[in-house]
């Protein structure tokens, strides 16, 4: 992913302290300029006072305590023309899970505003004809897209199939769960041509890594052929300030969205 190119990670009771005009930022003055940066904090502590964080990318915090006082989380001020993209002129995306966050007299500026269009992973193979008794597993090929974040807000499996009027099969399409087992979806081919969808997000498929491991399979237990004309996953990114089982205390604090498109 993009976020793996430049990053900082704190684990296992580590502590990052920024005080007295400290700054964590990125520079475009590189041979191969790259602005995205990922700060990941797990089972640790982040303390920021009278300081600034300025970069586009991600701050992902789990099982940690965060204190931000008299400080700013914002964008990089000067971006060269070659790097002028909407997602490069914003502050990092914020994700907190099982964490306590206190923000006092601070600013979160230029938060990423774009509602990204739905993206698609197409299966490999993209279509297949099942003879009676034949089964097939479909995997999904990441499309050539820029990953803004690996967190997702929606994941839908969409299959278009066709079978003639004499088809009498009863099997459902199945998906590979995180526990390594296959489970039925609600998609059960019928004796017609149709497009059906199934919500994978509600079944725990909720990030890019889950999608890359996703497999879908079907076995034709009917008496005639079944053809899958299209097998794909449609998904959307999560770009909100996200809190999962966390507490956020914001006191005398300003937050805004970058509305420039």
Instruction: Note whether 93 and 158 are same-domain residues.
Output: no
64 pLDDT band, cuts 50/70/90, is very high
Instruction: Note whether 123 and 205 are same-domain residues.
Output: yes
Instruction: Note whether 202 and 160 are same-domain residues.
Output: yes
Instruction: Note whether 10 and 88 are same-domain residues.
Output: yes
243 pLDDT band, cuts 50/70/90, is confident
- Domain count of the chain? 2
If you average pLDDT over residues 93-119, what whole number do you get?
83
Instruction: Note whether 155 and 52 are same-domain residues.
Output: no
Q: What is the pTM of this model?
A: 0.60
Instruction: Note whether 232 and 123 are same-domain residues.
Output: yes
- Quick one: pLDDT at residue 154? 80
pLDDT of residue 178 exceeding 80: yes
pLDDT of residue 261 exceeding 80: no
Instruction: Note whether 136 and 209 are same-domain residues.
Output: yes
Range of the domain at 134: 119-237
If you average pLDDT over residues 227-244, what whole number do you get?
82
Three-class secondary structure assignment of the chain: CHHHCCEEEEECCCEEEECCCCEEECCCCCCCCCCCEEEEEECCEEEEECCEEECCEEEEEECCEEEEECCEEECCCCCCHHHCCHHHCCCCEEEEECCEEEEECCEEEEECCCCCCCEEEEEECCCEEECCCCEEEEEEECCCCCCCCCEEEEEEEEEEEEECCCCCCCCCCEEECCCCCEEECCCCCCCCEEEEEEECHHHCCCEHHHHHHCEEEEECCCCCCEEEEEEEEEEEECCCCEEECCEEEEECCEEEECCCC
6 pLDDT band, cuts 50/70/90, is confident
pLDDT of residue 199 exceeding 60: yes
207 pLDDT band, cuts 50/70/90, is confident
Instruction: Note whether 208 and 143 are same-domain residues.
Output: yes
Instruction: Note whether 101 and 149 are same-domain residues.
Output: no
Instruction: Note whether 108 and 171 are same-domain residues.
Output: no
């Amino acid at each position: 992913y993009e976020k793996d190119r430049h990053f900082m990670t704190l684990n296992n009771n580590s502590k990052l302290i920024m005080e007295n005009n400290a700054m964590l930022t990125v520079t475009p003055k590189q041979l191969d300029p790259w602005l995205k940066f990922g700060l990941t904090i797990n089972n640790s502590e982040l303390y920021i006072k009278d300081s600034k964080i300025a970069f586009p990318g991600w701050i992902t915090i789990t099982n940690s305590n965060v204190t931000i006082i008299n400080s700013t989380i914002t964008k990089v001020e000067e971006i060269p023309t070659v790097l002028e993209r909407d997602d490069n002129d914003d502050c990092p995306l914020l994700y907190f899970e099982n964490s306590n966050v206190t923000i006092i007299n601070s600013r979160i500026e230029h938060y990423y505003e774009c509602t990204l269009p739905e993206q698609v992973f197409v299966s490999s193979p993209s279509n297949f004809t099942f003879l009676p008794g034949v089964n097939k597993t479909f995997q999904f090929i990441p499309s050539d897209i820029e990953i803004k974040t690996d967190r997702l807000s929606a994941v839908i499996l969409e299959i278009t199939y066709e079978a003639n009027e004499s088809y009498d099969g009863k099997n459902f399409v199945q998906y590979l769960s995180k526990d390594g087992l296959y489970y039925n979806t609600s998609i059960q081919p019928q004796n017609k041509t149709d497009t059906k969808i199934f919500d994978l997000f509600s079944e725990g498929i909720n990030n890019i890594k889950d999608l890359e491991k996703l497999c879908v399979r079907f076995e034709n237990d009917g008496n005639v052929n079944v053809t899958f004309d299209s097998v794909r996953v449609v998904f959307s990114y999560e770009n909100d300030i996200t809190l999962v089982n966390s507490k956020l205390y914001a006191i005398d604090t300003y937050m805004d969205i970058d509305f420039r498109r």
